[in-house]
Amino acid sequence: MSVKDLIAISKYYGSNPEYIIAGGGNTSFKNDETLYIKGSGTSLADCTEDTFVKMNRQVLAKIWEKEYPQDPDERESAVLADMMAAKKKGEEHKRPSVETLLHDLLPFAYVVHTHPSLVNGLTCSKEGAEAAEKIFEGKTLWIPSVNPGYILSLTIKKAMVDYAALKGEVPSIILLQNHGIFVGANTSERITELYSRIMERIESYITRKPDLSGEQSSWGASTKVIPILEELAEMSGGGRYHVKFRRNAGIVSVVKDRPSFFPVSSALSPDHIVYAGSDPLFVESSTEDEKQIAADIKAAWDHHLESTGRMPKIAAIKALGIFGIGAGEKAADLALDLFCDAVKVAVYAESFGGVQFMPEDQIDFINNWEVERYRTNVSIPITKGVVNESL
Ligand SMILES: [Zn+2]
């Protein structure tokens, strides 16, 4: 039992795209006094001891005795201030993951939180709660979609008390609706064992698997569309923007027409919002006529800007493919990666009654979140253009 094991298991899951994309997910190790939690804006794939923030567990526990403001922004910044104050000496320059409180609550030495697309097929589906009960024979805790941060930790704290009263044990598997999974155990071997079993069990219920084969970064009119989108982004965002194209079997099936696009037309999880936006653009345009494409894209873009106040991070063109839009090439690629993940999640969700999007108020919460402002402003220079977060 050690931080060494934490690093090994974090690298293992962090570098496996089946579990974690970009800087998503977070891990921790704890003893009685100290919680070692992944720092915000760091990535598990290349973690070192310095990636983890040492937290004083006694000070963290005091957070539960306090009353916080009702206003979400005021509440989250007050909780964040208290969390920052729980850092141990020498950790002043670091910022702990927003899910620190949650990691501290779970009574296991190791906690590994990931966002596997297979698991999210279950957590982002209409019948996910009932299906999870059946698949895991009542041995998991299902947490309905709530805002991340303090509210999520508080919800789980209460739900764990109820679960323990009913079943006489604490859950080692927690499924978060529209988000991902927490797995806790006292050895890292047990974490791996649990994860393998979880994946096997869910997989045995999948009726259709996603197919993202035949990936192309250029096709048809894509090279004509890229400068159109770059110009629109630069006009709206005031700076240099990068646009990248992707097409594969899964993308082709969702860009076929508007009804086919529906399962990926809104937010499935916070990570999807952070990297790919909550409202991808869908443009129905004949790609034969260059002037017409430009006019159709501009009309859809302006409408999007007006109705959301944001520029899209993904633009889909009917029958062509998808374009990722970002302040750097890496950000444009990440938008495409997360959109492709949403395509996978949506296909897996078909086995559990079809997709269930995040509630509108929670989508707004993520879009406006202080943590997101922090990550887009601060984590970019640290990681040379890679946006990393640990939701
Ligand atoms: Zn997460």
Q: What is the pLDDT of residues 274-292, one digit of tens each?
A: 999 999 999 998 767 888 9
Closest CA to 41 of 347, 289, 378: 378
Distance from the alpha carbon of residue 191 to the mean position of ligand 1, in angstroms: 17
In this predicted model, what pLDDT tens digit does every residue of 372-384 receive, in sequence order? 454 444 433 333 2
Largest Cα–Cα separation, the chain: 67
Distance from the alpha carbon of residue 95 to the mean position of ligand 1, in angstroms: 16
Closest CA to 242 of 327, 334, 337: 327
In this predicted model, what pLDDT tens digit does every residue of 260-277 receive, in sequence order? 999 999 999 999 999 999
Domain layout of the chain by residue ranges: 3-203, 222-354
Neighbours of ion ligand 1 (CB under 5 A): 180, 391
Distance from the alpha carbon of residue 288 to the mean position of ligand 1, in angstroms: 42
pTM of the entire structure? 0.92
Distance from the alpha carbon of residue 391 to the mean position of ligand 1, in angstroms: 4
Distance between CA atoms of 102 and 84, rounded to whole angstroms? 15
Distance from the alpha carbon of residue 25 to the mean position of ligand 1, in angstroms: 5
Q: If you classify domain 3-203 with CATH, what class do you get?
A: alpha beta
Lowest mean pLDDT across 120-134, 147-161, 183-197, 199-213:
147-161
151 alpha-carbon distance from chain centroid: 17
How many residues does the structure list for the chain?
Answer: 391
- Name the architecture of domain 222-354: 3-Layer(aba) Sandwich (3.40)
- Residue 55 in this model has a pLDDT that exceeds 70: yes
Give the residue, 238 or 322, on which the prediction is more confident: 322
Mean pLDDT, rounded, of the chain? 92
Distance from the alpha carbon of residue 367 to the mean position of ligand 1, in angstroms: 15
- Residue 340 in this model has a pLDDT that exceeds 60: yes
Q: Hey, do 3-203 and 222-354 end up sharing a CATH topology, with the first three levels equal?
A: yes
Lowest mean pLDDT across 133-142, 184-193, 350-359, 362-371:
362-371
- Residue 75 in this model has a pLDDT that exceeds 70: yes
pLDDT at site 304: 95
Distance from the alpha carbon of residue 294 to the mean position of ligand 1, in angstroms: 37
Distance from the alpha carbon of residue 249 to the mean position of ligand 1, in angstroms: 27
Distance between CA atoms of 58 and 51, rounded to whole angstroms? 22
Distance from the alpha carbon of residue 341 to the mean position of ligand 1, in angstroms: 14
CA atoms within 13 A on the CB side of 360: 1
* 382 token code pair: 């640290």
* 298 token code pair: 């501009």
